[in-house]
Structure 1
Amino acid sequence: MKNAFYISLLLFSAFVFGQQKRVETSIDTTKNKIGAEFKLTLKTSVDTLSKVKFPNVKNFGALEVIRSYPIDTVKNNDRYELIKRYGLTQFDSGRYVIPSIKVIINNKAFLTDSIAVEVAPVQVDTLKQKMYDIKDVVAVDNPIGNWWKWLLGFLLLVGIAAAVYWYTKKYQKKKIEEEVYKTPIERATILMNSLEQKELWQKGEIKEYYSELTDIARNYIEEAIEIPAMESTTSELITGLKAASMKKKMKITQETIDNLERVLKQADLVKFAKSKPMEFEITEDRNKIQKAIVVLDSAIPVDVPAEEEQLLNEMQRQKQVQIQLAKQRKKRIQIAIAAVGFVITAVLAFFIVTRGFENVKDTILGHETKELLEGEWIKSEYGNPSVIIETPKVLKRIDLKKSLPKEGLALVKEMQSFAYGSFVGDFYLMVSTMKYKQDTQTDLNKAVEVTVQSIESQGAQNMIVKQEDFETPEGVKGVKAYGTFVKLNGLTNTSQKIFYEILLFGQDGGLQQILILHEEGDHYANDIVNRVLSSVELKQLKN
């Protein structure tokens, strides 16, 4: 039994050894950087009749297959050596294991060796390489120019003017028609002639022709005989016409009523059933309508009203006049409103095209820094050693001694601070000067660090600090620090990105400081900062 166990173990070891050696596994490197490629190679040797299938997957363990290379075949006497390569990568640092991979040879599975690899992060030396903030948006010169804006504004003004002209012309035309058409028969006659001049049916617009033709007849009947002809169907209109003729004692022949009814029904077929009458039928229908209007008008009795009726009619006429005057006043008001709206729209369109939408919006709705920039500026002298500076508002004296540590305050002989705005607001400007008790050389770089720490103590987060030399027009040299930080609003739980600039000057044992904060992206504030900093003048200490 013991010998049998050793023999079995030997055979099993030989089997495993043979299986492992059937597919050789290698890799070009076991250490690489994030995102770099590991080249994994699988190699096997088979006879000419063998079938080999390499895996086609997207991942080997935690490593991603970024490329599967074609199989290389090398012939060696009566055998083939097959070489398969894979490109692997990983985008997180750490130690990983490429697991055993199953290769199928003649429908039998053979496992490759597992390999451990290491992915290292990319080292960034922040001491040698400065960190820079995201650049502001830079305006690109437009090779086309701004002519299209002027064209757009011109077309907008033309469109508005055309709309106002069309509305006014339509109203005036209607008013003229009301004045010209003294009686219903005159209106009907003029409209019939106008309809013929349009030659609608000759152009194939038969439906439009019959629609206008019957509208003329219906309008006449409604005005002259006083029945609701426009809202009635053909049957209702004929019934109402017969009743009105009996009531008004109008002598109308049955032929006239039949002709009118036939034309109205023909018009209904044309409008709703797409019927197309012949040319002679259209002419006959037109003549029948014209004759029916003339017959109806001549059949209306002309009675001489009694004195009471005349008075009543006069009162009704006066009432109608008042109604017409009210309508005319309403129309004039509408035209005036439209004209004012046109002028306002035109002016807004002009300024939007020439100055931009944001500028016009800020002008109308108001914008703090825009009002500061365009307001009256003041040039004043602050502190000792004094700083002469031009600002949009007079700076008010503030007390910053309470914010200084006791050990720092003990070194200060005199300190004066002036500011406009609030640190938690959208714009803040401060000028501060101090004199030390002892005559010491001021370290401006250290002063920058202290100022930055002071800003951070007031809630600034993620501060980015850049520093460069600064020189006034008079040649006084100092240090300029600038960058951005994030300010949190505790009430709304929102964050705001703030841009800051600090100027520091050291003179004869004294320190002069200018601090400006504003919302990033505020171009009005950028113009204010440029104007303020370009106006800085410094005076020597007074002993």
Structure 2
Amino acid sequence: MKLKFYIFLFLLSSAVFAQSKQIETSIDTTKNKIGAEFKLTFKTVVNSKSKVVFPNLKNIGALEVIQSYPIDTVKKNDTYELIKKYGLTQFDSGRYTIPAIKILIDKKPYLTDSIRVEVANIQVDTLQKKMYDIKDISTVENETGDWWKYLLGFLLILGIGAFVYWYIKKHQKKKIEEEVYKTPIEKATSLLNNLEKKELWQKGEIKEYYSELTDIARNYIEEAIQIPAMESTTSELIQGLKTASAKKKMSLTSETVENLERVLRQADLVKFAKSKPLEFEITEDRNKIQKAILTLDNAIPAEVPVEQEDQLLNEAQKQKQIQLQLKKKRNKRITIAVASVVFLLTATTTYFIVTKGFNYVKDNLIGHPTKELLEGEWVKSEYGNPGILVETPKVLKRLDTQKVLPKEAMALIKEMQLFGYGSLLDNFYITVSTAKFKNPTEIDLTKALEGNLKIIEAQGARNMIVKQEDFETKEGITGIKGYGTFTLINDNLNSSTKIYYEVLMFKQDGGLQQIGIFHEEGDTYANAISDRILNSVELKKASN
């Protein structure tokens, strides 16, 4: 009985062992660096009818699956070898176990082998490789600026000037024609020639062509024969023409009247019935109108006989006169347009000077350095150690402390970092500095402020007025604020400038933190910049 039991256990263990070995597990390496990839591989051999399901996992144990590779299939005689690979990684150093996972073969679960791996730290030799401070935030200059506003204003004023020019030209055109054309027949002939130059009907604008053509004829009849042709219908016009012809004893043939009536009715059909005459019909209608106008003009009896030399100027003289008058009118229009633009510019500038002040106009038209700083893109960054978090219009650049402080002072300092933008000679100057001293000492902020101001005096400051008050940050860190004015002497330019300054000083665990702001007194934009900077100051607690 015991023998049978042992045989049963042997067969059972053999079956389990055989089942577990259905999946072969391997890994490319058992030790890797942080973030490096482990390639975990599973292999199994099955027949062509078997169905194998590899799990879709995001993590295998404590390791993250960064890549699930496609299954490779290798045919071996009547069987197939399936190879599945997973890319694993871990970002914390230590020893980890890749646990067994279930793989289904023909819906039966098979377990893979577990594997132990090690993730090692990356060793950094700080003795061989020098450590550097974190780089400051770099900002991209705003290339757009406000130029488009000035361009828009210029185009607006230019458009107004062009509109004035066009308006005057349009309303003077008729007046010029009236002054140039001395007789109705001269006007009608010239307008017919201008109509042909427009080539309206060739462009498909037949309705517009017939409207202008008949208007020329009606206008001539109204001016020369003095009947209300422009307001009359075609029938009324023809009847009025016949009546006037009888009264004035005009020698008109029935053919002339019929041709005129035919063209007028053709024009009515084009305008109101959307009729489209053929090209030769349009040409004939134009010729009929011209012939009718000439015939009517010849039929009008002359009231006073005139000699040839007393008639109108010859054609060359008339053209010269037309050109001369057009030139005068054109020059007049240009003068009015330019004067309008100048007036608008002057009026606009005067309005803003009266309402906003001269400085406002000057700063917006010409520009102002501190105004551009105030309205530009600001940067919030941390400087030094202990850190000073402050918002500034420009990124502060690291300065060489060896060039600023004397050697005696540097001998007492363990560590100092200095950042700044501009200089005392610029429109706006800001400095941020932090310092730690070699020997622990109690710092007197008032004396430190005095020492700071003496350095400024050495750079050309005169007649310095100093005021002092307590200052507290949002985090409750207290310090002092020194402020006042001084006269900065520029020996190179032989000039002087009144400067307003504000200096904040804090002490933490034997360290000193300072912020200095300098700008020309009375500069409202600089005052706004200074207020914004001081309101943004945040201090980090000192760390050893």
TM value normalised by structure 2: 0.45
The TM-score with structure 1 as length reference comes to 0.45
